[in-house]
Amino acid sequence: MNIMDYDTVALDDEKSALVIIDQTKLPYSTELLELTDLKDIWDAIYMLKVRGAPAIGVAAGIGIYLEAKKIARDEKEFSAFLGKFRQAKDYLDSSRPTAVNLSWALNRMEQVVLSHRNQSIGKIVDALRREAQEIRNEDIWVCRAIGEYGLTLIKDGDGLLTHCNAGKLAAVKYGTATAPMYLGKEKGYHFKIYADETRPLLQGARLTAFELQESGFDVTLICDNMAGMVMRNGWINAVFVGCDRVAANGDVANKIGTSMVAALAKRYDIPFYVCAPTATIDMATPTGNDIRIEERKPEEITEMWYTRRMAPEGVRVFNPAFDITDNELISGIITEYGIARAPYSESLKGIFQRKVSGINHQ
C-alpha cells in the first residue's frame, strides 16, 4: 500500500484505540500504532510519532475521549467524572506547549462535557465521541478549503518551496501548506516543488519529500541553507508553510528555520504564505513575543542521526523547536475562511467574522 492509503490519525472505537502512523519510522517503514493508554498518547505527541498542528489536535480529541471512556467505568457522578477528566486534559495538554491546536481541541472537548452536565455520564461519553469525530472531519474540510484559496495564488508550472512538513502527514488529508499542491494536481497542474530538509529532525527530508514523491509530484530535496540559492536562481515563485500558532498581530510560530526562509523570500521578492486553520490563530496572544517556544533535547542535534556522536562532549546546545516569523515578512495568511493580509490585527478579526457568519466562498 502507498503511504497515502493510510489515515494519519484515526479512531478504532471497538479497540478503544487511537491509531496513528508512527512518523518517527518514516520513510524506512510504515508502522501503525494502536494507542490505548493516555501516557502512550502523551508520549506519541511529545516524541513526534504524531505531529503537525492539525493532526495533534485530532489526536488530542480522540485521546481525551478514550480516557473519558475509562473514567466513566468508575465514576458515575458528574463532579468526580469532571475532576478526573480535567486531570487527564491538563496532562495531555502538557505534551507540546507551542502548538495551539492541542489546547484548542482539549478545550473544545471540555466544553462538550460542561454543556452535557445534566445528562448521564454515558451520554456525555457518547457526545465526546461525536465531537472527536467532528474535529477529525472538520480537519479534512478545513485543509481542502485552505488549498482552494491557496490555489488562486499560483499557476500551473510554478516552482514552490515548503519548509518542514505541513502535508498530509501533519493532518488527516491534504495538509495545510501542501493542500494547494494536492488540489492543483487534481486539476492537472504540474508544480516543481522544493522541500527544505528541516534540521534537526528532518521532517522535510523524511516526511515531505517522501509523501510528495509517493504522490507523484516533481519534488527536489534541498538542505535548509540552500533555499537562498534556489530563490536567487529564479526557481521559486511562491513559498507555502504551515504554522503552529498565529498571534493576533500576524506573527507566526512555526518550525525552526521558517523565519530565515521568510527573510530570504522578502529579499528576492517572492510571496511567502502561511497556511493556518483558524484553530491555529490565537487572538488571545498579542504578538509573537508572547508565544512560548518549546526547547527540546540537545541529543536531537548532537547524536540523533549519527552512528557516533558528531559534537564534542559537554558543548552547550540550543535547540528551540520553533521560531517566530514577523508579520512584516508574510504576504498572506491563508485560512479556511479566506486570505488575511496586512494589517493582520484587522484582517484576522475579519476572518473570524466570516467564520461566525459561515461565509467561506471565494
Q: Which residues does the annotation mark as catalytic?
A: 244
Where are the strands (E) in 188-325, listed by range? Answer: 192-196, 218-222, 238-241, 245-247, 252-255, 272-275, 281-282, 322-325
- DSSP bridge partners of 275: 334
Taking the C-alpha atoms of residue 239 and residue 68, their distance in angstroms, rounded to an integer, is 41
Taking the C-alpha atoms of residue 271 and residue 294, their distance in angstroms, rounded to an integer, is 28
Task: Give rounded-to-5 percent helix, strand, coil for the chain.
Answer: 45, 15, 40
| 302 C-beta neighbours (distance < 10 Å), count | 18
Q: Long-range pairs for 31-36 at CB < 8 Å and ≥24 separation?
A: 32/6, 35/63, 36/66
In 3-state terms, what secondary structure has residue 222?
strand
Taking the C-alpha atoms of residue 139 and residue 258, their distance in angstroms, rounded to an integer, is 23
Q: How far is CA 203 from CA 14, 25, 34, 49, 144, in A?
A: 32, 11, 22, 12, 22
Buried b (16+ CB within 10 A) or exposed e, 120-156: ebeebbebbbebbbebbebbeebbebbbbbbbebbee
Q: How far is CA 26 from CA 58, 88, 141, 162, 205, in A?
A: 20, 29, 26, 19, 10
H/E segment holding residue 94: none
Taking the C-alpha atoms of residue 113 and residue 111, their distance in angstroms, rounded to an integer, is 5
